[in-house]
Amino acid sequence: MTTDGLSTRTQLLDIARSIVVHEGTADFSLREVARRAGLSPAAVYRHFASKEALLDEVCAIGFQKLCMYLLGATSAKTPRARLDASGDAYLRFALENPEDYRAIFMTPSRGKKPGSPGEAFQLLMDRVRECMDAKVLKRGDVMEVSVSIWAHVHGLASLRLSGHLAEAGSDAQFKSFYRQSVDKLVSSFEVNTVHKQRGTS
C-alpha cells in the first residue's frame, strides 16, 4: 500500500471510530464515512469491502492496544501481583484511550474477530489460572472467576468514563478507589480469605 493509501486508510479508521463513539452503529454507513472524508464511496471500498469490515477493524485496533497494556502486566514478579497489575492496566487503558474503550466495549458487540475480546480475556484467564495453580486463589472454574473480575473492572471503568463516578474525585483518587474495590473482590477468591496486602510489580 502506498503512503497516500495508508494515510487514507488511517483517516477512514479515525472517522469511523469517531462516528461509533459519538453516534453509535445503528446508522453507520460507508457512505457517511466517505462524505466526512471528502471521498467517493467507491474510494472507501478500495480499502474496506463493507461497513462490517471497517467496524471490525476499528474494534480490532482497540483490542490490540488493550492487549499491549495487559501484556505489560506480565512483568510483575508474582502471580497475584500480575493479576493486580492486569486490573491496573485495564483501567489505565480506559483512561488513556477513552475513544478506543468506548468503541470496543460501550457499543454493540462485533463478535469474536481476530485480535478481539478473546485474546484480551484469555490474558485475564491466564492470570487467574496461574493464581489458582500457585494456590493464591481457591481452585474453581477459571472462566467464571475471570468473568466476575472482568465485569467488576469493566463496570467501574465504564461508569468513570460516562461521568457517573465523578464524585470519586481526580483520576488519581479514582485509581485508589478502583484498586481497593478490585482487591476486595479478588480477595474473596483467595485460599485464605483474610485480606492480603497487594503484590507489587
- Does residue 101 contact residue 157 with C-beta atoms inside 8 Å? yes
Provide the CB-side half-sphere exposure for 129 (13 A, CA).
8
- 190 phi and psi angles, rounded to 5 deg: -70, 155
Question: What pLDDT does 27 receive?
Answer: 82
Question: What pLDDT does 40 receive?
Answer: 93
Domains of the chain, CATH where assigned? 1-48 (1.10.10.60), 58-187 (1.10.357.10)
- Does residue 115 contact residue 65 with C-beta atoms inside 8 Å? no
Question: What pLDDT does 3 receive?
Answer: 54
Both ends of the chain: CA-CA distance in Å? 41
39: its cell numbers: 471521498
Whole-prediction pTM: 0.81
Question: What pLDDT does 200 receive?
Answer: 44
Provide the CB-side half-sphere exposure for 21 (13 A, CA).
18
Q: Which residues contact 143 (CB under 8 A, 6 or more apart)?
A: 125
pLDDT tens by residue, the chain, 201 residues: 455 567 899 999 999 988 888 888 778 899 999 999 999 999 999 999 998 899 889 888 889 999 999 999 999 999 999 999 999 999 999 999 998 898 888 666 555 554 445 889 999 999 999 999 999 999 999 999 999 999 999 999 999 999 999 888 999 999 999 999 999 999 999 997 544 444 444
